[in-house]
Structure 1
Amino acid sequence: MGQRSAQAATEELGAWASGVDAADVPPEVLERLGLVTLDVVGVAAVGAGLPEQRALRRAWELPVGPAPLFGTGRTAPADAAAWLTAVAMACLELDEGNKYAKGHPAVHGFPAVLALAAARDASGADTAAALLVAYEVAARFGRATSLRPGGHPHGNWGVAGAAAGCARLLGLGPQACAAAVDTGAGMPIAGHFDSATTGNPVRDAWVGAANTAGLAAARMAAAGLARNTGTAELSLGALLGEFDPRALTEDLGTRWHITEGYFKRHASCSFTHPAADAILELARDEPVDPSAVEEIVVETHALGAGLSGVDWDNRLSAMFSTPFVVAATALDGVVGPHTYRAGRIDDADVRQLARRVTVVAADDLTARLPAERATRVTIRGTDGTTRRCEVPNPVGDAAHHPFDEDAVVAMLHEWLPGEEDFVARLRRFSRELPTLAATGEPLRGLDGTATPSAAPKEERA
């Protein structure tokens, strides 16, 4: 389409972003924003409790700052909070995603916007508008971008969303917002998908970098140092794949991508979820007896067919292995944070069953993308019997058994045992966000410390 087309589309998108007002947003969109906020902030608190995340915070030598590190009992400067929150949000593969964006829009911008809102004590209305802008712009850039084979979507198209959300929160005008978006689009990370399947945590760091890059892009625009030159056509297009700027402005203001996302009940890549859901469906009629399984065939779309590895050696590589997820689901009934705490990645029974899982691409399922991420699972028994189940999307998708607030809260209670007060405060914040006069103290109230005088959880652990 050309650099000028990207420039024009970015200009239109920036003008829209600068004018988003929470008061004019449809109620169902604001309700969904609250649900996404509830999910991703809660998931960040779950991730923050992992030993490696505690170690990362210690290595960071964090000073006290105005922005919360959700669930830790600590605060930090905005940039550090944005990075560390994003990594904690992504590290368990539980954060909300969007099939049309082909990735995770929220994690690319919500940590930066929430950290900046806490630092500036922004109003709830402005913060809600900025979060919506961050999500919508990231999702549209995700739709517009087709990465080269092997490209991972973390840390590239999502930077534009972080930049847009932060620019909106800073109150920048149309041209400055467009310049911030363009600058963010010019700071992508070229990450390879195999970093995830081979278990390299750099994959989580990509979203941390996206959030801090978005903050930097918005500040450059605020200082008058940014320009809109259609950079996305060069960085996301010529270098990383293909870029179609028409997706940036199509149905702008009427189609809200945040209403089309999915929530996750399995701690694994979303491409593995339909297979796990199919196993659970089959187990409702008759439990899966591993000793009676000859083979489990998982037919899936082309995007998910590569997640076939059986040589995982850490949590991240296991989360990107359909054989692991299928085997663990068949044996345990779920794949959650506790699956990894319990050492199931090293369990002999899980590995033995996983070696009997075959993952193949099916053209008819690929043809149903992007509206469906369908999967067929066939269990062939040692006695010659065959059982089959097909699911069109993961459970929790907006189009397939969508989750409501009660469902998300129930998952958070399961993943955050003993943190009922934190979950209740987060639920209240997510509901009341657009009406809050200021967000600084309410956000810092989500750092995980029950009372202002309580010692941080890092010190109490």
Structure 2
Amino acid sequence: MSTVEAVARLGDWVAGLRWADVPSATRDRLGLVLLDSLGVTVVGARQPEQRALAAAWRPSAGPAPLVGGGVCTTVEAAAWLNATAMARLELDEGHKYAKGHPAAHGLPAVLALAADLGASGPSTLAALLAAYEVAARFGRATTLRAGMHPHGSWGVAGAAAGCAKLLGLPADQVAAAIDAGAGLPVAGHFASALDGNPVRDAWLGASNVSGLAAARMAAAGVARNTGTPALSLGDVLGSFDPGPLTDALGERWDVDLGYFKRHASCSFTHPAADAALAMRGLDLGAVEEIVVETHSLGGGLGRTTWDSRLGALFSTPFVVAAALVHGAVDPAVSADEGRDDPRVRALAAKVALRVAPDLDARLPDERAARVTVRMAGAEPRVVEVPNPIGDAAHHPMAEDDVLALLGRLLDPGTVATVHDVATGLPDSPDIGPALRRLADI
């Protein structure tokens, strides 16, 4: 099947998607993704760097909430700023088969547009599901060149699909929107994240705004489905196989296969953090070396120094040391006053990161890690985990778990409001007023 044909089939599927026809387990899972996403957006919005960005933006008044930001603004400003807040602390939901974050690529755009349109709950949820599923399929279909970061590339097509669905476009125009979205990727380098450069967060803002633009282009009749993904995501950014775009379409729901994050750090560090937490209680002063074995996707996160929050979140030595010292990898440990803890610095200097062929062979179903702690006068301690806690295939999180996670990071009143908004959407004839409640929390 050609890329043009595959995108046309996706457009037809998105246009015909009805919330009432979605299996109940998948509806529940999307609701959980929405709950988690809104909650971590609030946490991100309360960080000083995100507040400074919103202030510098000087957002004009409009119909869409700046989640946790105190104002309602234009659709595009809300989409950009909410997306960057959602990714600010590396807490947003992700997907190992898509090799990235489908929800963050399009959820903020869909919600901002839905608030503007006064869309119903069922139509909004169908659009959110379309955005997630199309983004995940594009993630499966795309193999980025070595060194590229996945933010802002393949996920634009999902944002375009969700916004086109919300606009009620027919199948051919949805396909045109998806094609146009795939032609608007960011070529971001992974080293920017390792260097702690927040431009990495902006790539998700760009994805959401570009998805909006692609859907508006399709609505205006100035977009076409010509096979752009094979050129932009394939020839330019890596390689592209259209097969995964339609594989088990309408039978497999990728939203069911994602993971929630209990650590504020890159997902590649999570299995090692879980293993470290399983060894809490060690005499850290006696530690001589910590060897972290991982898969090739996480093999570049071995820096033992950092000069920013984001740089720390992309350092496996920092995350492992923070887990052992603090017993958690919450936002406080990477904040300005926390990440220079001398105990963490000293322990991180003893961490060596290595790619293990046996763990690499278990991709993509497992993102495993093996942590060995060598101590003076004692036998080495070894803990291996197959996936991070929160993965759909390894200690998956239910609603109570997500609420408990948010409860560690937010006050009870805020968590209750986010929960009320997220769970109330399916029955809402106009989600605008409910979403705008999120501006003032």
Deviation (angstroms), 1:230: 0.5
Aligned to 2:207: 210
Question: For 1:303, which of 297, 300, 306 is the aligned residue?
Answer: 297
CA distance in 2, matches of 1:200, 1:391: 30
Does the alignment pair 1:253 with 2:245?
Answer: no
Deviation (angstroms), 1:7: 0.9
Deviations 1:186-219 (A, max 9, x none): 0000000000001010000000000000000000
Does the alignment pair 1:118 with 2:115?
Answer: yes
Aligned to 2:271: 274
SS at match of 1:373: coil
Identity in percent: 61
SS at match of 1:110: helix
Aligned to 1:238: 235
Aligned to 1:398: 392
CA distance in 1, matches of 2:125, 2:298: 33
CA distance in 2, matches of 1:342, 1:165: 37
Aligned to 2:427: 435
Q: Is the 8 A contact 2:332 2:338 kept in 1?
A: no
Deviation (angstroms), 1:221: 0.1
Deviation (angstroms), 1:342: 6.3
Q: Is the 8 A contact 1:22 1:434 kept in 2?
A: no
Q: Is the 8 A contact 2:313 2:334 kept in 1?
A: no
Structure 1: runs of 5 or more not aligned:
450-461
CA distance in 1, matches of 2:61, 2:399: 32
CA distance in 1, matches of 2:27, 2:336: 38
Aligned to 2:331: 337
Q: Which amino acid aligns with 2:12?
A: A
Aligned to 1:448: 440
Q: Is the 8 A contact 2:36 2:93 kept in 1?
A: yes
Q: Which amino acid aligns with 2:332?
A: H
Q: Which amino acid aligns with 1:60?
A: W
Aligned to 1:327: 321
Q: Is the 8 A contact 1:422 1:448 kept in 2?
A: no
SS at match of 2:263: coil
Deviation (angstroms), 1:19: 1.0
Aligned to 1:458: none
Question: For 2:153, which of 142, 151, 156 is the aligned residue?
Answer: 156
Q: Is the 8 A contact 1:109 1:134 kept in 2?
A: yes
Aligned to 2:342: 348
SS at match of 2:72: strand
TM-score w.r.t. length of structure 1:
0.94
CA distance in 2, matches of 1:137, 1:310: 37
Does the alignment pair 1:96 with 2:88?
Answer: no
CA distance in 1, matches of 2:194, 2:413: 36
Deviation (angstroms), 1:18: 0.9
Q: Which amino acid aligns with 1:373?
A: R
Q: Is the 8 A contact 1:68 1:81 kept in 2?
A: yes
Q: Is the 8 A contact 1:87 1:208 kept in 2?
A: yes
Deviation (angstroms), 1:448: 2.7
Higher mean displacement: 408-417 or 220-229? 408-417
CA distance in 2, matches of 1:293, 1:402: 32
CA distance in 1, matches of 2:314, 2:394: 22
Q: Which amino acid aligns with 2:388?
A: P
Deviation (angstroms), 1:389: 0.6
SS at match of 1:282: coil
SS at match of 2:297: coil
CA distance in 1, matches of 2:311, 2:324: 19
Question: For 1:50, which of 47, 52, 61 is the aligned residue?
Answer: 47
Higher mean displacement: 63-72 or 260-269? 63-72
Higher mean displacement: 18-27 or 69-78? 69-78
Aligned to 1:137: 134
Does the alignment pair 1:290 with 2:297?
Answer: no
CA distance in 2, matches of 1:432, 1:314: 38
Aligned to 1:452: none
Higher mean displacement: 248-257 or 440-449? 440-449
CA distance in 2, matches of 1:207, 1:297: 33
Question: For 1:362, which of 331, 356, 359 is the aligned residue?
Answer: 356
Q: Which runs of 4+ in 1 moved over 4 A?
A: none
Deviations 1:269-297 (A, max 9, x none): 000000010011122xxx12221111111
Deviation (angstroms), 1:21: 0.5
Q: Which amino acid aligns with 1:316?
A: L
Deviation (angstroms), 1:384: 4.1
Aligned pairs for 1:385-424 within 5 A? 385-417=379-411, 420-424=412-416
CA distance in 1, matches of 2:314, 2:33: 23
Structure 2: runs of 5 or more not aligned:
none
TM-score w.r.t. length of structure 2:
0.99
Aligned to 2:172: 175
Aligned pairs for 1:17-36 within 5 A? 17-36=14-33
CA distance in 1, matches of 2:153, 2:335: 31
Q: Is the 8 A contact 2:309 2:336 kept in 1?
A: no
Deviation (angstroms), 1:430: 1.8
CA distance in 1, matches of 2:177, 2:217: 7
Q: Is the 8 A contact 1:97 1:263 kept in 2?
A: yes
CA distance in 2, matches of 1:260, 1:43: 19
Q: Is the 8 A contact 1:117 1:127 kept in 2?
A: yes
Deviation (angstroms), 1:424: 1.3
Q: Is the 8 A contact 1:167 1:218 kept in 2?
A: yes
CA distance in 2, matches of 1:435, 1:29: 17
SS at match of 2:131: helix
Q: Is the 8 A contact 2:11 2:174 kept in 1?
A: yes
Aligned to 2:73: 76
SS at match of 2:279: helix
